[in-house]
Amino acid sequence: MPLIQVKLIEGVFSEPQKHEMIRKLTDAMVSIEGEAMRAVTWVVIEEVKSGSWGIGGKALTTADVGALSAVESPRAPGAEST
């Protein structure tokens, strides 16, 4: 039985977005191994405390991720519309 583990910085994704991740990751496994995998595919989402995740030697916070999202996607939550 597949176990898919996802780690996210807390406060970045909404509950509906996390539910969508679970659904789509399960769908990905089903697309590879067949429909029988749906009932036995586990997806675990763990949220890591803001500042307890690092990249490139720097601690990453929820605000840092939000700033990255705003740059990459003008329609990201909190981004100003033009």
Domain boundaries, the chain: 3-72
> Can you give the pTM of this predicted structure?
0.77
pLDDT tens-digit readout, 4-56? 999 999 999 999 999 999 999 999 999 999 999 999 999 999 999 999 999 89
Q: Name the CATH topology of 3-72.
A: Macrophage Migration Inhibitory Factor (3.30.429)
Whether 9 and 47 have beta carbons less than 8 Å apart is answered as yes
Model pLDDT, residue 46: 98
pLDDT for the residue 42: 98
Give the per-residue pLDDT at 77: 47
Kindly compute the dihedral angle of the four CA atoms of residues 13, 14, 20, 21, in this order, to the nearest 10 degrees: 30
